[in-house]
Chains A and B, each alone.
Chain A
Amino acid sequence: MQCLPAFAARSCESMSGFGTLLYKELLRFWKVAFQTIAAPVLTTLLYLLIFSHVMQGQERVYGAVPYTTFLVPGLVMMAVLQNAFANSSSSLIQSKITGNVIFVLLPPLSYWDFFAAYVLASVVRGMVVGVGVLLVSLGFVDLPFEHPLWIIAFAVCGSGVLGTLGLIAGIWAEKFDQIAAFQSFVIMPLTFLSGVFYSIHSLPGFWQGLSRFNPFFYMIDGFRYGFFGASDINPALSLVIAAASLLALTAFTLALLRRGYKLRH
């Protein structure tokens, strides 16, 4: 980027600091792509094979969609969300434990630079894994793409939410086990109980009601709408809820970073 002199110099420099941190975060997972991309694609594929086998003959969803086809967008979104979380959380906790987090704390990076680079890298990681899962799944099922823009909007929003949650977990945790606990006790239940494997209309009333308090449900439901043009909830409402979650978490994380919570003692 060509820098303008004087007044623009600072923002230009900030762009570059941010750009470098983003580049470093992308390079980090790219260098271990076998573990960060190939492995989750394989895991999700196993889910698809097992569930589609077990649930064969299950009644159709939304009237006409075979179960296996219904399952694929849910699995794709699950992979997007989990990997977005894994990226920022594991990157930050590794840096904190090995001590090299000081390399990003010593330079003149702003809170925004720090936040945006980690979250954006998580979004990219989530998207790359999501696309990988989707491409492999297309070998097994025929999938409609009714509203591609909704697909992208929910994928971006969802991975942004999870990337931000990962950043919060990474800032808060002091040990790997704490990240694992966050993942097992917060992320996994919210994901599994969000309608990845089923339409919430198949649930008893109480569980249906409870699902509506889970923001992950709206992300997955809206994402699925992009494929089938049908969903449990109006996708516009789902997008508003997902975006509001992202905004709230962003504000919270920026406040943590500004305070230097657990990063600058």
Chain B
Amino acid sequence: MTPAIKIQQVHKRFRAVQALSGIDLEVASGEFFGLLGPNGAGKTTLINILAGLTRADSGSVRVMGYDVIAQYRDSRRALGVVPQELVFDPFFSVRETLRIQSGYFGLKKNDAWIDEVMHHLDLTGKADANMRSLSGGMKRRVLVAQALVHKPPVIVLDEPTAGVDVELRQGLWEFVRGLNRDGHTIVLTTHYLDEAEALCARIAMLKQGRVVALDTTSNLVNRLDSLHLKLRTSGATLPPGLMARVRDSHDGVHTLRLRSFAEIEGVLAEVRQAGAKIEELELLQPDLEDVFLQIMNVERGGGKADECSASPPSPRVLANR
């Protein structure tokens, strides 16, 4: 089966900055794929190359099997892009904007679908309002609708929830999940790692123009062989033997790092032997944020300087680079 997106050895340099250095990625048809990375990692550059807004210096990029340069018409027809910036054309109303966008794709009688998209995105009430008069959240929805007017099989959302309120965010994700269920391939970049974890089945992490991790979300999360045990104790301080495990400690609440569930018993016994009383106990599973910080930290040279993450680099992650 033709992959929805196939990126091979893509390099891109902007003057002194090497934005992408040899990206290889393949997204299968129907996937919900996440593209994560800090600012400047090359996510938007990669998306722009996919959309034909930027040209790669070398390498090949295909959307639904169509080369984005040689077969740009077919590849662009297969792709819907929700840009990161909140852009709009101040001359037109919502309906005009969508009709015009639809016309660019050669679709003239598309009103039924435009109405449906507006309905799903709660835009019907604003159909004849000028774009200028819309709130930021509404403008964001119009951008999503614009990306969908031509029913593209592949939809790319570049940080679509940046600066969007919680309610719209939830609504938007529900909508995008529905599109994925209907068979659309979704590629998402986001800064909200909890969302990537909740939505994306597979994730690529980018750092300085390279893919530093690429795996299913569950595998990525499971890579961290640490659990966190949160304890509130009274009576005595933690025994010195446990100090190496302490990740965080304040106001009598200590977060300890464990390698596996099997270690819980031993840790609790040590605490009791030291004469401390356990007031509260919570077991935390690692999440994508931990993985992300760890991987980004490894890439930075494994320094513990970043106070957000004291997790040591895991050898398995290194092996997978």
Contact = CB atoms under 8 A, between A and B. Distances in A.
B146 interface: yes
Given A106-B52, A108-B72, A264-B53, A100 B105 contact: no
A102 B87 contact: yes
Contacts of B73: 10, 108, 110
B53 A108 contact: no
B54 A264 contact: yes
A21 B104 contact: yes
Nearest to A32: B91
A20 B104 contact: yes
A16 B108 contact: yes
Contact of B87 (A16, A23, A98, A264): A98
Contacts of B88: 98, 100
A100 B85 CA distance: 9
Contacts of B92: 24, 27
Contact of A100 (B52, B81, B89): B89
A138 interface: no
A248 interface: no
Contacts of A109: 104
Contacts of A14: 106
A19 interface: yes
A264 B52 CA distance: 7
Interface in A15-55: 16-17, 19-21, 23-24, 27-28, 31-32
Contacts of A24: 92, 100, 103
A98 B79 CA distance: 22
B141 interface: no
B76 interface: yes
Contacts of B48: 265
Nearest to B150: A107
A22 to B, nearest CB: 10
Contacts of A27: 91-92, 96
B232 interface: no
B91 A13 contact: no
Contacts of A108: 72-74, 76-77, 104-106
Contacts of B51: 105-106
A107 B78 CA distance: 10
Contacts of A110: 73
Nearest to A107: B104
Contact of B105 (A23, A105, A107): A107
A106 B100 contact: no
Interface in A100-141: 100, 102-110
Interface string B64-92: 00000000111011010101010111111
B130 to A, nearest CB: 10
A11 to B, nearest CB: 10
Nearest to B54: A265
Interface residues of A, number: 31
Contacts of A104: 104
Interface string B31-62: 00000000000000000100111110000000
A63 interface: no
A265 B83 CA distance: 16
B83 A102 contact: yes
B214 to A, nearest CB: 26
Nearest to A12: B106
A99 interface: yes
**Most chain A CB inside 10 Å of its own CB: which residue of B85, B88, B100:** B100
A209 interface: no
A100 B14 CA distance: 22
Contacts of B89: 95, 98, 100, 103
B124 interface: no
A144 interface: no
A95 to B, nearest CB: 8
A9 to B, nearest CB: 9
Nearest to B131: A100
A161 B98 CA distance: 32
B314 interface: no
B85 A106 contact: no
B92 to A, nearest CB: 8
Contact of A265 (B14, B77, B104): B14
B180 interface: no
Given A13-B106, A103-B89, A265-B55, 19 more contacts: A16-B103, A16-B106, A16-B108, A17-B105, A19-B103, A23-B100, A24-B100, A32-B91, A102-B53, A102-B87, A103-B100, A103-B101, A103-B104, A103-B146, A107-B150, A108-B72, A108-B74, A260-B55, A264-B52
Interface of A: 10, 12-14, 16-17, 19-21, 23-24, 27-28, 31-32, 95, 98-100, 102-110, 260, 264-265
13 contacts: A102-B81, A103-B87, A103-B146, A104-B104, A106-B52, A106-B53, A107-B105, A108-B106, A110-B73, A260-B55, A264-B55, A265-B14, A265-B55
